Amino acid sequence: MQEVVKILLAEDDPNLGFIIKDNLSDKGFDVTHCTNGLDAERILYKEKFDLYLLDVMMPKKDGFTLAQEIREKKDDTPIIFLTAREMQEDKIRGFKLGADDYITKPFNFDELVMRMEAILKRTKSVIPEQKEFKIGKYILKTDELKLHLGEEVSSLTKKEAALLEFLAKHANQSVKREDMLLKIWKDDSYFAGRSMDVYITKLRKYLKDDDKVEIQNVHGVGFKLVINQPE
């Protein structure tokens, strides 16, 4: 059974905190969210976490102070600061306090995940792998190679599942043909491209029973999995 990576998120903005927690949870992380530094301090000494995401400007106890106390207690859990402060001296202070990374707001969520995973690979052997994706009314289960629509289940080939997973990870974003080909086919030749087009046609048939889900051609770029939210 795969071990879950535990994240302590200290972010005083409830909306941003919810978004970060929701997105990280979708990626397979176990996230505990606190809205001030004092609550975060109480929790981190009761539970074991694999990484701390600390906002710098927080009520009751700011992120810099919390990080300093964490390191003074010989806790070497990785720390990433999240902050709107872009001053160079703040970044230097953060790293001097023992931070592993420093990300300024607003940030790209995929970049945050990539930085987290880079740090966790150095400090922890297990990284959560998302195996289930919600695609409109469908549920893609990559470990089972199954696409669920209620009680109806479609069996997928490995390439079909990998292609749909790639699109789902970039839902509502344009993805380049060559990126998809190199990731899944390990080849971006003409013949691999023709093969992928066949698979895209098959996936469109699998997804035809939800009119809010569509794989669109993006001229000159590649494809986009569009998932419209229900009204």
Q: Indicate whether 194 and 211 sit together in one domain.
A: yes
Element (H, E) at 32: strand 30-34
What is the pLDDT at residue 231?
53
Q: Indicate whether 181 and 99 sit together in one domain.
A: no
Domain-terminating residue out of 123, 157, 174: 123
Q: Is residue 1 part of a domain?
A: no
Domain-terminating residue out of 91, 123, 155: 123
What is the pLDDT at residue 127?
54
* pLDDT confidence band for 185 (50 / 70 / 90): confident
Task: Please tell me the total count of domains within the chain.
Answer: 2
Q: Is the pLDDT of residue 2 over 50?
A: no
Q: Is residue 60 part of a domain?
A: yes
Q: Indicate whether 48 and 95 sit together in one domain.
A: yes
Q: Indicate whether 118 and 54 sit together in one domain.
A: yes
Q: Is residue 170 part of a domain?
A: yes
Domain-terminating residue out of 77, 92, 123: 123
Overall average pLDDT of the 25-34 stretch: 88
Please give the share of the chain, as a percent, with pLDDT higher than 70: 95
Q: Is the pLDDT of residue 110 over 90?
A: no
* pLDDT confidence band for 3 (50 / 70 / 90): low
Is 127 within 8 Å of 27 (Cβ atoms)?
Answer: no
Q: Indicate whether 77 and 175 sit together in one domain.
A: no
Please give the share of the chain, as a percent, with pLDDT higher than 90: 45
Q: Identify the domain containing residue 61 by its residue range.
A: 6-123
Rounded to whole angstroms, the Cα distance separating 26 from 92 reads 32
* pLDDT confidence band for 146 (50 / 70 / 90): very high
Element (H, E) at 121: helix 109-123
Q: Is residue 181 part of a domain?
A: yes
Q: Indicate whether 15 and 115 sit together in one domain.
A: yes
Overall average pLDDT of the 60-75 stretch: 89
Q: Is residue 80 part of a domain?
A: yes
pLDDT in tens, 86-109: 777 878 888 888 888 888 888 888
Q: Indicate whether 137 and 118 sit together in one domain.
A: no
Q: Is residue 118 part of a domain?
A: yes
- Give the tokens for residue 50: 């694999």
DSSP letter string over 177-228?
A: HHHHIIIIIS--SHHHHHHHHHHHHHHHHHTTT-TTEEEEEETTTEEEEEEP
pTM of the model: 0.54
Q: Indicate whether 81 and 186 sit together in one domain.
A: no
Q: Indicate whether 20 and 118 sit together in one domain.
A: yes
- CA separation, residue 1 to residues 111, 126, 128, 129 (Å): 27, 11, 11, 12
Q: Indicate whether 107 and 141 sit together in one domain.
A: no
Overall average pLDDT of the 150-168 stretch: 93
CATH of the domain at 190: 1.10.10.10
